[in-house]
Copies of this chain bind each other. A is one copy, B any other.
């Protein structure tokens, strides 16, 4: 994949009033290498502000903190002009706090990640990375979540950075339709091994859980959630397929969860009670 950082960087400068403002969030926490890699990649494109959980929040889905107060702490900058804020909450809390408390004007783009590990297929449901992006989209801001298929803290983020730079430029230039955000997953490995990018749909897959049962020192049984990912979908346009073939997968995701195709069939099959008759 060619380095997109140098061939269309000017598109990000279309705005008349200065550089675009890019909010960088994640779910692995403010100290994870992935978010630093993402902030670095964004630094050429605009004004970068990092707001991230103060501890890992993987698997938090679209959780919000409603029964505890939230603390915000400014950490050491990631580099010149890149402030970093740590929030004692979830990824979604970070986006909400950024908008209402930390930023004086809204972001032009929300990027989330780079997640340490895949958020392809149904992993999007559990993903704090994607929920943070979704929260940005809910606020009407173009939003993209990036995830690298490598859990290692020493992962090579260069390919993911190139993809992030390119797609952030496209988002700044073209925007995204209202209600749509992007779920971008990047194959593991060196940038040279990435074959390109592909528009995809969410693969039909499942986690097959295998709880690991143990007994604690007090004799109480407890369970660790484990499991293996099972893909059922070999379609060319499934994100799993693209990733397996060495492509970056890009799935447009919407936050309107209505199953429109199912509506008509259900209307015809299910019997609903007639209008009110007091019982």
Contacts and interface: CB of A to CB of B under 8 A. Distances in A.
Given A93-B225, A194-B276, A267-B199, A211 B255 contact: no
A258 B262 contact: no
A196 B273 CA distance: 6
Interface in A90-140: 92-93, 96-97, 99-101, 122, 124-126, 131, 134, 138-139
A153 interface: no
A223 B64 CA distance: 13
A271 interface: yes
Band of interface residues on A = 35 or more
Contact of A63 (B63, B250, B269): B63
Given A252-B263, A256-B201, A101 B213 contact: yes
A252 B256 CA distance: 11
Interface string A246-275: 100011111111111011011101111111
A164 to B, nearest CB: 13
Contact of A262 (B63, B177, B211, B263): B177
B259 A70 contact: no
A170 B139 CA distance: 37
Interface string A45-67: 00000000000101111111111
B272 A196 contact: yes
Given A100-B210, A223-B69, A255 B2 contact: no
A19 interface: no
A180 interface: yes
A251 B258 contact: yes
A276 B1 contact: yes
B179 A222 contact: no
A228 to B, nearest CB: 13
30 contacts: A1-B273, A2-B279, A56-B67, A61-B131, A63-B126, A64-B225, A65-B225, A69-B222, A69-B224, A70-B224, A71-B220, A92-B126, A96-B209, A97-B223, A100-B211, A122-B138, A166-B273, A167-B270, A177-B262, A177-B266, A180-B262, A192-B276, A195-B275, A196-B273, A197-B273, A201-B258, A201-B263, A246-B276, A252-B266, A253-B257
Given A177-B262, A193-B276, 17 more contacts: A2-B277, A60-B63, A70-B222, A71-B220, A97-B211, A100-B210, A125-B134, A138-B206, A176-B266, A192-B278, A196-B276, A197-B273, A199-B266, A202-B257, A250-B272, A252-B258, A254-B259
